[in-house]
A and B are shown apart, each in its own frame.
Chain A
Amino acid sequence: MFYIHCPYCGEHREEEEFHPKGQAHIARPEDPDACSDEAWGDYLFFRDNPRGIHHELWVHAVGCRKFFNVTRNTVTYEILETYKMGEQPTVTAEHPEGRPSRDAADQGTLHEGVRA
Chain B
Amino acid sequence: MSQPNRLTQGGRIDRRQPLSFTFNGQAYQGYAGDTLASALLANGVDIVNRSFKYSRPRGVVAAGAEEPNAIVQLGSTEAAQVPNVRATQQALFDGLTARSTNGWPSVQRDLMGLVGKLGGQFMPPGFYYKTFMAPASLWMTYEKYIRKSAGLGRSPAEADPDIYDHLHRHCDVLVIGAGPAGLAAALAAARSGARVILADEQEELGGSLLDSRELLDDEPAGEWVAAAVAELAGRDNVTLLPRTTANGYHDHNFVTLHERCTEHLGEVAPRVTGRRQVRSRMHRVRAGRVVLATGAHERPLVYAGNDVPGNLLAGAVSTYIRRYGVVPGHKLVLSTSNDHGYRAALDWQEAGREVVAIADARPSPDGEWVEQARARGIRIIPGSAVIEARGESRVNAARVAKIDLDGFRVAGAAETLTCDTIASSGGYSPVIHLASHTGARPTWNDDILGFVPTLVKGVSAAGGAQGVYATAEVLADGVEAGSRAASEAGFAAASVSLPQVAARRDGAAVALYQVPHEKPTLRAPKQFVDLQNDVTAAGIELATREGFESIEHVKRYTAMGFGTDQGKLGNINGMAIAARCLGRSIPEVGTTVFRPNYTPVTFGAIVGRHCRELFDPERYTAMHQWHVEHGAEFEDVGQWKRPWYFPKTVNGKIETMHEAVARECLAVREAVGILDASTLGKIDIQGPDAREFLGRVYTNKWAKLAPGRVRYGLMCKDDGMVFDDGTTSCLGENHFLMTTTTGGAATVLEWLELWHQTEWPELEVYFNSVTDHWATMTITGPEARKLLAEVTDMDLDKESFKFMDWREGVVAGVPARVFRISFTGELAFEINVQANYALHVWETLFAHGEKYGLTPYGTETMHVLRAEKGFIIAGQDTDGSVTPEDLGMHWAIGYDKPFSWIGQRALSRPDTARTDRKQLVGLKPKDPKVVLEEGAQIVFDPKHAIPMPMVGHVTSSYYSPTLDSGFALAVVKGGQQKMGETVYLPMADGQVHEAEIVSPIFLDPKGERQNV
CB within 8 Å of B: which residues of A?
Answer: 1-3, 14, 19, 21, 27-28, 31-33, 35, 37, 40-41, 43-45, 57, 59, 61, 65-67, 76-79, 85-86, 114-116
Give the residues in chain A near B253, CB-CB below 8 Å.
3
Partner of B719, one of A44, A57, A61, A67: A44
Chain A residues within 8 Å of B900, by CB:
31-33
Residues 731 to 773 of chain B near chain A (Cβ within 8 Å): 750, 753-754, 757-759, 761-762
Interface residues on B, range: 20 to 34
Q: List 26 A-B contacts (CB under 8 A).
A: A1-B251, A1-B254, A2-B252, A3-B253, A14-B286, A27-B759, A28-B759, A37-B909, A37-B910, A40-B905, A40-B909, A44-B718, A59-B754, A65-B750, A65-B753, A66-B757, A76-B438, A76-B440, A77-B252, A77-B438, A78-B457, A85-B757, A115-B759, A116-B758, A116-B761, A116-B762
Contact with A along B244-276 (1 / 0, CB 8 A): 000000111110000000000000000000000
Asked whether B794 is an interface residue with its Cβ less than 8 Å from the other chain, the reply is no
Residues of A within 8 A of B889 (CB): none
Distance A67 CA – B456 CA, assembled complex (angstroms): 28
B883 touches A (CB below 8 Å): no
A36–B315 Cα distance when bound, in Å, is: 72
Residues of A within 8 A of B908 (CB): 37
Contact A61 B252 (CB under 8 A): no
Question: Does B835 make an interface contact (CB < 8 A)?
Answer: no
B456 touches A85 (CB 8 A): no
Instruction: Please determine whether B286 and A3 come into contact, CB atoms closer than 8 angstroms.
Output: yes
A18 to B949, CA, bound (A): 43
Bound complex: CA A46 to CA B254 (Å):
33
Residues of A within 8 A of B758 (CB): 57, 67, 85, 114, 116
Per the bound structure, the CA–CA distance linking A115 and B756 in Å amounts to: 12
Q: How far is the CA of A83 from the CA of B761 in the complex (A)?
A: 16
Chain B: CB-nearest residue to A113: B758
A76 to B456: give the CA distance in the assembly, Å: 8
Contact across chains for A35 and B251 when beta carbons are under 8 A apart: no
Contacts of B286 in A (CB 8 A): 3, 14
Residues of A within 8 A of B909 (CB): 37, 40-41
By a CB distance below 8 angstroms, the chain B residues around A57 are 758
Interfacial chain B residues near A65, Cβ < 8 Å:
750, 753
| Complex Cα spacing A28 to B584, Å | 53
Please, which residues of chain B bring their CB within 8 A of the CB of A115?
759, 761
User: Which B residue sits closest to A39, measured CB to CB?
Assistant: B905
Most A-side CB within 10 Å, residue of B718, B753, B758, B759: B758
Whether A1 and B906, one on each chain, are in contact in the complex, defined by CB atoms closer than 8 angstroms, is no
Q: Which residues of A contact B905 (CB under 8 A)?
A: 32-33, 35, 40
Query: Contact check: which of A3, A28, A67 meets B252 at CB < 8 Å?
Result: A3
A2 vs B253: C-alpha distance in the bound complex, in angstroms? 9
Q: B903-918 CB contact bits vs A (8 Å, 1 = yes)?
A: 0111011100000000
Q: Are A67 and B761 in contact (CB under 8 A)?
A: no
CA distance A102 to B390 in the complex (A): 73
In whole angstroms, how far apart are the Cα atoms of A77 and B908 in the complex? 40
- Taken together as a complex, chains A and B put the C-alpha atoms of A114 and B762 apart, in Å, by 12
Interface mask (B777-813 → A, CB under 8 Å = 1, otherwise 0): 0000000000000000000000000000000000000
User: Could you tell me if A59 and B750 are in contact, using CB atoms closer than 8 angstroms?
Assistant: yes
Given A40-B905, A40-B906, A59-B753, residue A85 in contact with residue B761 (CB < 8 A): yes
Known: A40-B905, A85-B761. A67 touches B754 (CB 8 A): yes
- Are A2's CB and B904's CB within 8 A? no
A15 to chain B, nearest CB (A): 8
- The distance from the CB of B722 to the nearest CB of chain A, in whole angstroms, is 15
